[in-house]
Structure 1
C-alpha cells in the first residue's frame, strides 16, 4: 500500500524546498518537516510516520545517529537518505544502518519517482508533476546549501585519493571585512604556524580566491598518510589544493549555471602566522563573501580549512544566479 504520512528531516530550508518540489505532484500524502535529527526521532516516536527522508550532515544529531537510534529502538520504517555526502563509505554505512536507499543532492525528481514506485511507496501511476513551494528563502541560507553540495563532491574525490573517510562540517557563509576575516582565521589557527595555498577563479563576472589552509603539524601527518618524502610536501599540497578547490567550485558552478576558470595554485605563506598571510593579501581581501569549510579525516589527527573568498561585487551576480532557488 502507498504511504500516506511522510517526514522530511534536513537542516537546510533549501534542501527541504527542493525535495518538496521533486516529490510527485499527484501523491496524496501528508508531509511534515523538521530541521534536526532529534526532532525527527521525537516525531517518529509519536507514531504515524510511514516514510522518512533523511539528510546526513546536521549539527544537533546527524543522519547516521538517527539511523542508529531507530535501529536501537527497533523502530522499523523505510528511510531514504538524501545527502551531499556522496562518499562511497557514506553510502555503505547508511545502507548497513538500515536505510532503504541513498540519493545525492540535489535530488532528481524522475529518479525519486522511480525509487518510490519500485518500493511501492507510491502508486506507480502517480503523476510526476512538480509540487509548488512558494516560500522565499534568504540568499545566505540558499548559498550555504549550494556550497554544501560542492563540498560533498570535493570530499568524495579526496576520500578516493587518500583512502579515508572525510568528515564533513556545516559550511559557514558570512560577509566579512578584512579585520573580521583575520580574527576568524586566527581562531581557526589556534596560534599555530600555517601553510596556505591560494587559487583564483572567475566565471560570468563572479570572481574570488580559494584559500586552503594547512596547520604545519598536520602537513607532516598528511605526508606520512600519503607515504611521501619530505621534499614532496609542497607538491602534495599544491596537488591536493587543486583537487579540492576544483571539485568544490565545479559542484557550485553546476548548480548556478556558470563555468569557473581557475588560475595556478600558489603558496601564500609557508610556516607563517595568520597575521603575516593577511598582511600580504590585505588589499585583495578588503571585504569578501567568505565561505568556510573545515574538513577532517576520520581516524587521523588531520584537518584543514578551505575558504572561498568571493569579491564584494560578486554577491549581486550570485544572488541573481540563485534567484530561481530563492523564490
Structure 2
C-alpha cells in the first residue's frame, strides 16, 4: 500500500537529502513543500500521511504548522527534521504533537530506526538510498542549508551554557562585494552601536573570517547570564565579546567542518571595534574584505535584551573548493 509522504522544508538541498534517505523499498507517493503554508495545504489535501517537517521556514514555520494540525486534528504523522537541536525546541514540538525529532543532517540509519520504532514502516534495505528526485540545488541554497545546520549547533551550545532558548532566523547567504556588506546586515539598524570581534579560519582550500557584531545594548544582560562580576564595566564587555565569539564561532565552524568533512584551524580572536556603527566598522576594515561569500545569522535570546550578528566571510578563492565539497553532499 502506497504511503503519502510530504517533505516540507524551504531548502531544496534539505528536501533532496531527505528524499535520498527514504528506504529504497518503501512504496511512497512523494510531495514537496517549500514552506509551512504549502505544507499545511498539502496535509489538508491528504498528501501528508507521514510528514517530515523543518522548523525554520518563511511564510509559516514548523511550529505554526504543528499547532494548526493539532488544532484542526488533521490525520498526519509528523516527524520534525531540523537543525535547531535545542532541548526547548524538542520539548516544544513534542507538546505540539510531533511524533519525534531528528536533527539535521539526517542519515538513512536514523530514519529507518525512527520509522520502525513507531511502526510506520519496516525496511528490508536498511542503509540503502532511494533514487534521488530531480531537484535542482544551487550553491547559494546549499550554503544556506549548511549554515542552517551549523547555526543550530552553535545555538544549542550557547543555550546549554546559559540555560536559555536562542531564537533562530533563516540564515542569509549571498555573494557580496565589500560595498554591499553593510546592506547585508539587515538586522542591525544603521545608527545602532555595536562592538565587533573577528577571527580568521582556514582549511584545505577554504579560508575566511568570522565576524561577530555584538549589539552594545546587549552587554549588560549577557554579562549577567554569564555570571560576570561588574557587568557594566569595560573589562566585562570585552570578556562577553570574546566568550560569546568563542562559543558561536567555534561551534559554527565545527558544524560546517562536520558537514564538509574538513577540519578548520582558527586564529586568535581580535577586537575590531567598540561602540561604533556598522558603517564605521566596515569602512575601517574595507581593505580586509573583497568579494566574499557571506553567511549571516542574527542570534537573539528569548526573554532577554540580547542580540548579535554572526557573519562567516569566505574568500573568493575559497569558492572552487567550497563548490566541490558541496557537490558531494548534493549528488
Normalised by the size of structure 1, how large is the TM-score?
A: 0.95
Residue segments in structure 1 that go unaligned for 5+ positions in a row: none
Q: Distance in 1 between matches of 2:314 and 2:180?
A: 15
Does the 8 Å contact 1:78/1:99 carry over to 2? yes
Instruction: Report the CA distance between 1:127 and its aligned residue.
Output: 5.5
Instruction: Report the CA distance between 1:187 and its aligned residue.
Output: 6.7
Is 2:289 the partner of 1:285? yes
Is 2:284 the partner of 1:274? no
Q: Distance in 2 between matches of 1:276 and 1:59?
A: 32
Q: Which residue of 1 is the match for residue 87 of structure 2?
A: 88
Q: Distance in 2 between matches of 1:68 and 1:245?
A: 33
Q: Distance in 1 between matches of 2:197 and 2:100?
A: 38
Instruction: Report the CA distance between 1:3 and its aligned residue.
Output: 6.4
Instruction: Report the CA distance between 1:164 and its aligned residue.
Output: 0.9
CA deviations on 1:254-287 (whole Å, 9 max, x unpaired) are 1112110001111100112223322331111122
CA deviations on 1:50-77 (whole Å, 9 max, x unpaired) are 1111101101111111111111112242
Compared CA separation, residues 101 and 180, structure 1 to 2 (3 A): same
Stretch deviating more after TM superposition (86-95 or 40-49): 40-49
SS in 2 for 1:322: helix
SS in 2 for 1:103: strand
Instruction: Report the CA distance between 1:306 and its aligned residue.
Output: 0.2
| Match for residue 296 of structure 1 among 297, 300, 320 | 300
Q: Distance in 1 between matches of 2:57 and 2:77?
A: 20
SS in 2 for 1:190: coil
Q: Distance in 1 between matches of 2:186 and 2:325?
A: 32
Stretch deviating more after TM superposition (176-185 or 6-15): 176-185
Q: Distance in 1 between matches of 2:97 and 2:188?
A: 36
Q: Which residue of 2 is the match for residue 232 of structure 1?
A: 236
Q: Which residue of 1 is the match for residue 116 of structure 2?
A: 117
Does the 8 Å contact 1:3/1:50 carry over to 2? no
Is 2:190 the partner of 1:190? yes
Q: Distance in 2 between matches of 1:111 and 1:274?
A: 43
Instruction: Report the CA distance between 1:186 and its aligned residue.
Output: 7.7
Is 2:247 the partner of 1:243? yes
Instruction: Report the CA distance between 1:302 and its aligned residue.
Output: 1.8
Q: Which residue of 1 is the match for residue 168 of structure 2?
A: 168
Q: Which residue of 2 is the match for residue 254 of structure 1?
A: 258
Instruction: Report the CA distance between 1:128 and its aligned residue.
Output: 4.5
Compared CA separation, residues 3 and 122, structure 1 to 2 (3 A): farther
Aligned residues: 326
Q: Distance in 2 between matches of 1:127 and 1:234?
A: 51
Instruction: Report the CA distance between 1:218 and its aligned residue.
Output: 1.4
Does the 8 Å contact 2:217/2:305 carry over to 1? no
Q: Which residue of 2 is the match for residue 99 of structure 1?
A: 98
Normalised by the size of structure 2, how large is the TM-score?
A: 0.94
Compared CA separation, residues 46 and 185, structure 1 to 2 (3 A): closer
Compared CA separation, residues 259 and 135, structure 1 to 2 (3 A): same
Does the 8 Å contact 1:23/1:128 carry over to 2? no
Is 2:28 the partner of 1:29? yes
Instruction: Report the CA distance between 1:178 and its aligned residue.
Output: 1.0
Compared CA separation, residues 98 and 185, structure 1 to 2 (3 A): closer
Instruction: Report the CA distance between 1:185 and its aligned residue.
Output: 3.7
Residue segments in structure 2 that go unaligned for 5+ positions in a row: none
Compared CA separation, residues 186 and 25, structure 1 to 2 (3 A): closer
Stretch deviating more after TM superposition (197-206 or 130-139): 130-139
SS in 1 for 2:37: helix
Stretch deviating more after TM superposition (116-125 or 79-88): 116-125
Does the 8 Å contact 1:150/1:249 carry over to 2? yes
CA deviations on 1:198-227 (whole Å, 9 max, x unpaired) are 100000021100000011111222223334
Does the 8 Å contact 2:24/2:130 carry over to 1? yes
